Structure 1
């Protein structure tokens, strides 16, 4: 139905992803992840890599497909039906790879990006700290330069993929005297001496993604593992808003779609009061609302993807990506709740996957920047756009007494 949004290459890779989800992801793995019997499904990443489904936006010379964000969004929705843990693990090569591809040296691309897209190395992004999540520039993890190395100390938490990651993209303060947004740097930090992983959390949902805490104690990082320039990690962070939030938005579409498909199918079989429950407006109106909201969310996610693929102003891209993340995840929460309500009590059990999807989707409104932070970005960028408008109709004058300047009191 949405093929008109995709070119032939995007259609083809979406179908590849759909077959991968159908044929190469064992049901038992999902069950074992949700029960914490599997803490990190490395085989999933390796199979995705074998099918050349990782890093599809990156150049072919580094193992990607050379496609665009629209194609990746199409794939991410298909992966999203599996839930947030696998969706996030699938997205990490795209997220971490963004930093390496756009800001890393050729050596970093050869040493880390290529083997990541080939499935030989796994990665994670170490961003959040115990003292705060949304306050990124308040980071207290510190890296000091010592000869040809940086010495890293601090800790990060809620690091998805920490349990199985071979290396981390880590943001740390490198200049304590500079303004917070000018004194941070980004590093590639391999798992090894000076890095301790703590699998510390009992999660409501998104289980099996290896979320943990990462401790850095006098961890030595070669200076060539600096991503971009020293003290310019803020520039990288602003770029990373795009893959972090657009992958979250697209994955949420898949989770919401999975839930409403299960519930809609159930409504064609379950009978009450002598007829199938799909005949009751209390049910079919919830289906109608869900499909409408899901289509609207899909529209804004694809709009954001098209914007990122274009040469649009970076501020407008940030606004659209933030809108997509906020609207898609809020919508997914509403749709999954509708799905559970349609199914009634059985939807609250593990006889159907809706209860797991409900637990999974809740996190998407928190991670990669809470939806309240999305609101801050949206309004900030909007007011900037509004102030820059110089042409078009003067809408304020479309009122009968618009010329009464004495009534327009602002202070």
Structure 2
């Protein structure tokens, strides 16, 4: 039985799937061989199509210029976007809604609204060399001074820095009544003291880079503070919940693509006089994969509906961890099986299984490792019991 999605969501699912199949997937191999880039002239056209489909800033209310999609709609869109490799699906943007809601009128005009329109681009500087999943361990400081702050520190994995013109930086207040509290700041990328130390190469082939960025006494006006001193971790937790849910959705999309591709190949590939899909060991890998995908999809869709219903945010926090944990590990298992089914072809960069085998690995790391998700889940289990978490 298919999940009972509303007819309007099914229609949207179909339109996004068509866009992915016709406009993104055909460019995967080109992107793989060209540092993750689209062919010349293609990206601008696709950005217009994204806008026409109502997917630009899909998580932002329509009255602010975004797509205004529900969580369920966003999960369905993200699932389809997850079917494409090389980060080409990142053409669909999702600015942090919690920051939109906290921004002052001047911040809205300067950074937020242009980002929603696609005229500006943001990136997030949170992770550090000694602070990944444990965000409270960050050492970057914001020292209050006359009319503002001085930011000092070093951030790692600043995703999309090369495409951004401003950063959202998390730091700890150094001094004053909120000493040690977390805070977020808007910082323009061309501000004096913002320096790229190096741009490491990663397993995936994305056009979005993840450099190490230093902040050397960067002067930031007080008006660039997002919300209040001490709210920084609240914003980060909100972003984590959202991203963990959407990672789960994208992993479902990747798994579906892998199962489809591996199944089609297994029907055509013959060994010892018959299609390999008739071999029980191949059948077992495909059967396990589609069963796990069904479970992950049910979890993801239901959790998206729970967000739309405004259910207890503490339960949602744990359930987002559950969805990310299960879906990301499920997709990694599916990718491994797909490589095995394709055999030598599955080890070629031109093969979808090889690309996903590399790309999906990070989903067990970023926005909180699998181990951190287990700690979050276990903590809520101890406090609330299994009934609260799973019904």
The range that moved more, 344-353 or 298-307, is 344-353
CA–CA distance in 2 between the matches of 1:301 and 1:259? 18
1:85 maps to: 87
CA–CA distance in 1 between the matches of 2:249 and 2:386? 31
Distance 1:265 1:235, change over 3 A: same
CA–CA distance in 1 between the matches of 2:34 and 2:153? 31
1:68 maps to: 70
CA positional deviation for 1:378: 0.4
C-alpha contact 2:173 2:182 (8 A) present in aligned 1: yes
1:402 maps to: none
1:268 maps to: 267
CA positional deviation for 1:291: 0.4
C-alpha contact 2:25 2:85 (8 A) present in aligned 1: no
CA–CA distance in 2 between the matches of 1:179 and 1:147? 16
Q: Partner of 2:68: helix, strand, or coil?
A: coil
What are the equivalent positions in structure 2 for 1:395-410 lying under 5 Å apart?
none
CA positional deviation for 1:129: 0.6
C-alpha contact 2:199 2:209 (8 A) present in aligned 1: no
The unaligned stretches of length 5 or more in structure 2 are none
The unaligned stretches of length 5 or more in structure 1 are 393-411
Taking structure 1 as the reference length, the TM-score comes to 0.85
Distance 1:214 1:148, change over 3 A: same
CA positional deviation for 1:85: 2.8
**Cα deviation code 1:6-57 (max 9, x no counterpart):** 2233233323322332333374465335652649997565653454312223
**Cα deviation code 1:118-161 (max 9, x no counterpart):** 22111211111122311211111111222222221212111211
Residue 143 in structure 1 maps to residue 145 in structure 2: no
2:345 maps to: 346
What are the equivalent positions in structure 2 for 1:318-397 lying under 5 Å apart?
318-386=317-385
1:53 maps to: 55
CA–CA distance in 1 between the matches of 2:107 and 2:298? 36
| RMSD (Å) for aligned C-alpha atoms | 2.7
CA–CA distance in 2 between the matches of 1:264 and 1:186? 47
Distance 1:34 1:145, change over 3 A: farther
2:114 maps to: 115
Give the paired residue count. Answer: 385
CA positional deviation for 1:3: 5.8
CA–CA distance in 1 between the matches of 2:196 and 2:12? 35
1:190 to 188, 191, 205: 188
CA–CA distance in 2 between the matches of 1:244 and 1:39? 25
What are the equivalent positions in structure 2 for 1:23-62 lying under 5 Å apart?
23-25=22-24, 27-28=26-27, 31-33=30-32, 35-36=34-35, 38=37, 43=44, 48-49=50-51, 51-62=53-64
C-alpha contact 2:300 2:323 (8 A) present in aligned 1: yes
**Cα deviation code 1:330-371 (max 9, x no counterpart):** 000011111111122221123422101100001110111001
Residue 101 in structure 1 maps to residue 103 in structure 2: no
CA positional deviation for 1:311: 2.3
**Cα deviation code 1:272-322 (max 9, x no counterpart):** 111111111111121111000011011111122112222221111011100
C-alpha contact 2:59 2:97 (8 A) present in aligned 1: no
CA–CA distance in 1 between the matches of 2:9 and 2:29? 27
1:154 maps to: 153
The range that moved more, 226-235 or 325-334, is 226-235
CA–CA distance in 2 between the matches of 1:318 and 1:178? 29
Distance 1:219 1:327, change over 3 A: same
CA–CA distance in 2 between the matches of 1:46 and 1:100? 25
The range that moved more, 118-127 or 263-272, is 118-127
**Cα deviation code 1:226-272 (max 9, x no counterpart):** 11111221221221221121121111112122212111110111011
> If you compute each CA radius of gyration, which structure gives the higher value, 1 or 2?
1
Taking structure 2 as the reference length, the TM-score comes to 0.90
CA–CA distance in 1 between the matches of 2:31 and 2:387? 53
CA–CA distance in 2 between the matches of 1:229 and 1:356? 42
Q: Partner of 1:24: helix, strand, or coil?
A: helix
Distance 1:30 1:231, change over 3 A: farther
C-alpha contact 2:160 2:210 (8 A) present in aligned 1: yes
C-alpha contact 2:127 2:157 (8 A) present in aligned 1: yes
C-alpha contact 1:49 1:119 (8 A) present in aligned 2: no
